[in-house]
Structure 1
Amino acid sequence: MKRALLIALAAVGLMAAEPPPAPDRPLPDAAQEARAKALFADIRCVVCQHEAIADSPAGIAADMRRLVREEIAAGRTDAQVREDLVRRYGDFVLFKPPVRAGTWLLWFGPLAALLAVAAALLAMARRRGEGTPALSPDEEARLADILASQEDRRDPDAKASDD
């Protein structure tokens, strides 16, 4: 009974897996294929997010590669292909999104976060103050007397083996 249940669960798991993408079909024109491959390197996979669609094994990346090839074959320019992808997936699909109001966070967010952390650390360092205030001449004299009177000060908790 347990074995049949395990087989059924494995079968369901295999059916739920994403099917492998269809193999890429390069464009017949070498110049167009070179343009497509150059675009592949500039376009981010929306699933992997850290890989270009040229390197991604995800099914959506294969669909995006196919779409880019179709648009190039239809005679669209690289800028038009990028604009279409941005329209479909947003500015995030480009590794170098354009600088505009909607992408300021992408461009300047890391710098702003770094400056905020630096300002917080500087404020904390200033709040700590100057440290311990210097001893007054009277306090220094008292300390010197105490140290002179106790030449060999032993720790009351120390053992003979600690010497």
Structure 2
Amino acid sequence: MRIVAAAVALFLIAAEPLPAPDAPLPDPAQEARAQALFEEIRCVVCQHESIADSPAGLAADVRAEVRGRIAAGATDDQIRAGLVERWGDFVLFRPPFDPGTLLLWLGPLALLLAGAALALLRARKATVEPAPLTPAEETALAKILKADRLRHEAAADTPDDGR
């Protein structure tokens, strides 16, 4: 029991403290800009969430930094550039289209085209001409067709009694 209590205590000590609540900007237009930027910026701790949705302390710090830079008069591009300088293109959910991110932007298209080309090549290769029938197979087929034709002719000659 003491071991469990010690483990829980260690966990609680090591847990990240909750960030202070965000203080929105007094100007509604500036706060709207900040909120829009929050959705574009990836939390580098969570990696799959924007800083708008992340409960991480670092995300709260970045939100405060973005608000501070907006209040200081920085443009959205200047704020993005500062974050990219600090954490790289990864911090943006929509990284810029440049030589460094070319594979990121064109990779999925290249894989799709390569898959389509491979499927087309396999489909062309899979079309095989059927081998001609042997004389024994031709004779058996002729018998089957003749029997089928006779059956259809017999059915056509049968009078319809209204049933």
Output the TM-score relative to the length of structure 2: 0.77
Please identify the structure whose Cα radius of gyration is greater.
Answer: 2
Query: What is the aligned length?
Result: 145
State whether structure 2 residue 31 is matched by structure 1 residue 65: no
Show the counterpart of 1:141.
138
Q: Which amino acid aligns with 1:136?
A: L
- The CA deviation string for residues 102-149 of structure 1, in whole angstroms up to 9 with x for no partner, is 111221111111112222222233333426x243251423544998xx
Identity %: 59
* Residue 127 of structure 1, aligned match among 119, 125, 128: 125
CA distance in 2, matches of 1:51, 1:137: 68
- The CA deviation string for residues 73-123 of structure 1, in whole angstroms up to 9 with x for no partner, is 221111111110111111122222211101112211111111122222222
Output the TM-score relative to the length of structure 1: 0.77
CA distance in 2, matches of 1:70, 1:12: 35
Q: Give the direction of change, closer, same or farther, for the CA distance of 1:146–1:65 in structure 2 (3 Å limit).
A: same
Show the counterpart of 2:17.
19
Give unmatched runs, 5+ long, in structure 2.
145-163
CA distance in 2, matches of 1:47, 1:117: 34
CA distance in 1, matches of 2:96, 2:81: 11
Q: Give the direction of change, closer, same or farther, for the CA distance of 1:38–1:145 in structure 2 (3 Å limit).
A: closer
Q: Which amino acid aligns with 1:43?
A: I
CA distance in 2, matches of 1:42, 1:88: 16
Structure 1 segment 37-76 matched on structure 2, within 5 A: 37-76=35-74
RMSD, matched Cα = 2.3
CA distance in 2, matches of 1:51, 1:6: 33
CA distance in 1, matches of 2:37, 2:8: 39
Show the counterpart of 2:160.
none
